[in-house]
Amino acid sequence: MKKWFFDADYLQACNCDYGCPCEFAAPPTTGFCEGMGVWRIERGQYDGVSLDGLALAFAAKWPGAIHEGNGTVCLLVDEKATPEQREALIAIGSGEAGGLPFEILATTFSTLLEPKYVPIEFNLDGLQSSARLGEGFRIALEPIKNPVTREPEQVTVNHGTGFIFKTAECASAREGAVDLEEMKFSYPNKAGFVARIHYGN
């Protein structure tokens, strides 16, 4: 198996209530899961191929809880990636290259859509972070507001056994929208996260 790793900033949004029950081994808020995430890779390598400065994202849906399977996923890859880099990112994101979290997530998908190669804008600004991938993928985060005072809340999840992240800042996804030919959803003001990760096999 080819060795790989990357260090990245990560944004996530989904259809669940703030904090996301998945982080507490509980069923999704609405009984099903639709979500999205994007990694901006600061430093990474796949079998000698540099992944520095690239981005990888996913849009996914599951009819029940993620671990119950039968999910559908579309990988989105930075269009500026070379053919070798594209191949590397697809191998990683599809779980083919092994390593967490992708080798676990891959077991929950029954449908892997054709990947999209799109321009990626990634703005890292704490709980105000955002990302736009082509015309069909948008995440815009903001702080969760106190329902009484409307002041920003500061909430962190420390998930020692988590495999997507161990620690993340909880946000409100002011926008969490996917508009692809094969998959469409939009969940404003639902669960969002900002995290710094290290992955590898």
pTM above 0.85, yes or no: yes
Strand-pairing partners, residue 175, are 140
Class of residue 173 by CB neighbours under 10 A (exposed 0-12, middle 13-18, buried 19+): buried
How much is the pLDDT for 1? 82
Residues lower than pLDDT 50 in the chain: none
Class of residue 113 by CB neighbours under 10 A (exposed 0-12, middle 13-18, buried 19+): middle
How much is the pLDDT for 94? 97
